[in-house]
Amino acid sequence: MRRVLISGVVALGMLAGVGVYAQSKGKVSATASDEDQKLLELARQFFQPLPAVADNPQNPVAKEKVELGKMLYYDPRLSKSGLISCNTCHNLATYGVDNLPTSIGHGWAIGPRNAPSVYNAALHVAQFWDGRAKDVEEQALGPILNPIEMAMPSEKEVIERLKSIPEYVELFKKAFPNEKDPVRYENVGKAIGAFERTLLTPSRFDEFLKGNTKALTAEEKKGLKLFIEVGCVSCHNGPAVGGNAFFKFGQFVDYWKATMPHVTLDKPTIPIDLGRFGVTHKEEDMFVFKSPSLRNVEKTYPYFHDGSVWKLEDAVKIMAKTQLNRELTQEETKTMVAFLKSLTGQIPRHALETPVLPASTDRTPRPYAR
Amino acid sequence: MRRVLISGVVALGMLAGVGVYAQSKGKVSATASDEDQKLLELARQFFQPLPAVADNPQNPVAKEKVELGKMLYYDPRLSKSGLISCNTCHNLATYGVDNLPTSIGHGWAIGPRNAPSVYNAALHVAQFWDGRAKDVEEQALGPILNPIEMAMPSEKEVIERLKSIPEYVELFKKAFPNEKDPVRYENVGKAIGAFERTLLTPSRFDEFLKGNTKALTAEEKKGLKLFIEVGCVSCHNGPAVGGNAFFKFGQFVDYWKATMPHVTLDKPTIPIDLGRFGVTHKEEDMFVFKSPSLRNVEKTYPYFHDGSVWKLEDAVKIMAKTQLNRELTQEETKTMVAFLKSLTGQIPRHALETPVLPASTDRTPRPYAR
């Protein structure tokens, strides 16, 4: 897993014009102005269009697996109470998030971190804000057993519920045709993961990257240029415009000072999140988080790992200050936000076609709310 | 609102063969046996096929209203916490229910009654188990403000949230084109109600009622005959196979004795639900509930107003005993259940095509979990 030192990458951002990875990845419209063409070439050094599917050779995306994964994703019986599904906190109708500072789970527990979007998540270098799961297949299995999320007491109880429902047994057989006993906990993750690998949201920015420089407005292009020049691109790059490396939140200003001015580390009035340190226990990972993807960022408020900031303008300013020691003007912020809104993509139709869930049987262990 | 005395209606059930309302409502297949034809004629005295839409002259079902209503139905911002939508407890992917004994609401409150299905509900004589709302338009507004359900503090706060979202303002204008200020609480109910009026689930039983006697299997037809002869039909009739009148639960045996044998009324260990008495305060309404629709009953477990019974077989036996003083044999129960499963219908496609919800704005009051 990469941990990129921000100072080095900012330098890379500065050098961008020199064309470190410069290569032609598609035709540039013949009518594009010189300036547009230069911006396109610059942008292509940092960003790539979304693929059709974020496939995984270890868990190939097959139709049957995606179908099963979608049902599991929407099924609240994967939670102890029978109330909470993956879709509860990663609502596909609201760009894969719950738009809450931090999520509400079993027993009305309020979790410690903001729910990241499931859209385009399969492209990330690792999962969760602290990268503790290596991919979406592994990630999907975490919240099911987390006592303050879906709170299933054990993998065994998850499997008992699923095995009691003949339709699910049949769907697991179809999704994992070479296995003798396919209803296994790991396969729950593989199915949900396969579904998530189809949850990509192409936007006008992809059209731009593919060569149509008219796909973005003049202001959006100005914002893109600024995004690159200021150095945002050093952490937010790749096909997901982020999500592909870890960085300290608070390079120049401690994040909690920027987002919650009343909090100090000496006498914190709320818990200060140590980030990836909790996973690696290395001092250098203190306050380190995965950079989030900025795809659909317009819709995935509130922002940051703690969901402490609601306005995109504020989030942009805080990031520029904490990460790049740069005070953005009102005009710069507005322009940057215009670019960010061009990352709002199309939700794939199949994501929102909710499956009818198979009924429980007399053998299905009952949910319990307490 | 009708309150039908069960004894009278049982007598009516007995008389059914005489053909109290006998009339031909469609062609009977030429190949139908005499027996099938007789059963069809008998059934038509009690049941009607579902209409295409359960329209309401006071709130005509128009496309724009349905579209808005569907978005509101799926929108968790109608709850104080921003977590709970109508669809949380009336999940359209699980036949309009949450399959929990009683629902979980704001603050993890456990409600007192089982969530009835929203499918076909618009056909009911009144809404809620105790009929305290006259129609789906009125019903929809209850849970939003109920402190143990969606817990919005006031109508005003609901409207503030909606008015802060330009897409919603636009949709209300389109749905209520003759109103100057259409974003009103009453219109929230009208829109959701209009959507619910489209949530009908025709099944093979409707094909049968329309004249295709081959639409039901021999066992299902036997079950239908038994359902009529035993007298179940006295409370469960009409297009929704129930939902059109109020009855005492426990005609011959107190319901809590049948469903929870350890409970006595003298020393109840759990609250005994007084039913419609809570609405009318008339002694005759003690333990009186609206008969539920049996459409999709196979999928809407657990059963009764308290969700105390999980197996359909058990529910059928308990009803026969408490309401009709009849001990059904194992064979009779099986046959009856076979008929009841023929009431499992087709969920309309548009119900499950989840709408992408419009984003909140900086003006939108924030959700609060506590």
**Domain interval for residue B244:** 6-45+202-341
**Together in a domain, A190 and A72:** yes
Q: Is residue B359 part of a domain?
A: no
Read off the pLDDT of residues A339-361 as tens digits, 9 standing for 90 and up.
999 999 999 999 999 999 999 99
pLDDT given at position A17: 36
Q: Where residue A14 falls among pLDDT bands split at 50, 70, 90?
A: very low
Q: Is residue B350 part of a domain?
A: no
> Which domain-ending residue is among B167, B200, B233?
B200
Read off the pLDDT of residues B217-247 as tens digits, 9 standing for 90 and up.
999 999 999 999 999 999 999 999 999 999 9
Name the least confident of A118-127, A270-279, B36-45: A270-279
Task: Give the CATH number for residue B309.
Answer: 1.10.760.10
pLDDT given at position B263: 63
pLDDT given at position B216: 98
Stretch (H or E) spanning B227? helix B218-230
Cβ-defined contact of B107 to A108 (cutoff 8 Å): yes
**Together in a domain, A72 and A189:** yes
Smallest Cβ–Cβ distance between B93 and the set A100, A104, A354 belongs to: A354
**Together in a domain, B196 and B206:** no
> Which domain-ending residue is among A156, A184, A200?
A200
In whole angstroms, give the CA distance from residue B189 to residue B186. Answer: 5
* Active-site residue, selected from the candidate residues B67, B137, B149, B220: B149
Q: Is residue A123 part of a domain?
A: yes
- The whole-model pTM stands at 0.91
pLDDT given at position B32: 72
In whole angstroms, give the CA distance from residue B322 to residue B259. Answer: 10
* Active-site residue, selected from the candidate residues A67, A137, A149, A220: A149
Q: What angle do CA A160, A162, A164 make, to 5 degrees?
A: 70
Q: Where residue B254 falls among pLDDT bands split at 50, 70, 90?
A: confident
Cβ-defined contact of A369 to B74 (cutoff 8 Å): no
Please answer whether residues A13 and A229 qualify as being in contact, where contact means their C-beta atoms are separated by less than 8 angstroms.
yes
Has residue B106 got a pLDDT over 70?
yes
All residues of chain A having their beta carbon less than 8 Å from the beta carbon of residue B108 are 107-108, 369
Name the least confident of A236-245, B100-109, B254-263: B254-263
Cβ-defined contact of B362 to A310 (cutoff 8 Å): yes
Q: Is residue A1 part of a domain?
A: no
**Together in a domain, A191 and A216:** no
**Together in a domain, A213 and A326:** yes
Q: What b/e sequence results for A187-202 when a residue is b if at least 16 CB atoms lie within 10 Å of its CB, and e otherwise?
A: bbbbbbbbbbbbbbbb
pLDDT given at position A264: 63
pLDDT given at position B362: 94
**Together in a domain, B186 and B218:** no
Q: What is the mean pLDDT of residues A283-296?
A: 96
Q: What is the mean pLDDT of residues B18-33?
A: 49
Cβ-defined contact of A82 to B99 (cutoff 8 Å): yes
Mutation site, B108, B296, B311, interface A, largest A CB count within 10 A:
B108
Has residue A38 got a pLDDT over 70?
yes
Read off the pLDDT of residues B163-193 as tens digits, 9 standing for 90 and up.
999 999 999 999 999 999 999 999 999 999 9
**Together in a domain, B233 and B104:** no
Cβ-defined contact of A100 to B367 (cutoff 8 Å): yes
Name the least confident of A30-34, A60-64, B83-87, B115-119: A30-34
pLDDT given at position A56: 93
**Together in a domain, B190 and B249:** no
Q: Is residue A273 part of a domain?
A: yes
Q: What is the mean pLDDT of residues A6-13?
A: 41
Q: Please, what is the average pLDDT of chain A?
A: 91
**Together in a domain, A221 and A329:** yes
Has residue B9 got a pLDDT over 70?
no
pLDDT given at position B310: 95
Please answer whether residues A47 and A40 qualify as being in contact, where contact means their C-beta atoms are separated by less than 8 angstroms.
no
Task: Clarify whether B160 is annotated catalytic.
Answer: no
Q: Please, what is the average pLDDT of chain B?
A: 91
Has residue B17 got a pLDDT over 60?
no
**Together in a domain, A214 and A331:** yes
Count of structural domains, chain B: 2
Q: Is residue A265 part of a domain?
A: yes
Read off the pLDDT of residues A301-346 as tens digits, 9 standing for 90 and up.
999 999 999 999 999 999 999 999 999 999 999 999 999 999 999 9
In whole angstroms, give the CA distance from residue A363 to residue A35. Answer: 67
Please answer whether residues A102 and A114 qualify as being in contact, where contact means their C-beta atoms are separated by less than 8 angstroms.
yes
**Together in a domain, B154 and B175:** yes
**Together in a domain, A41 and A82:** no
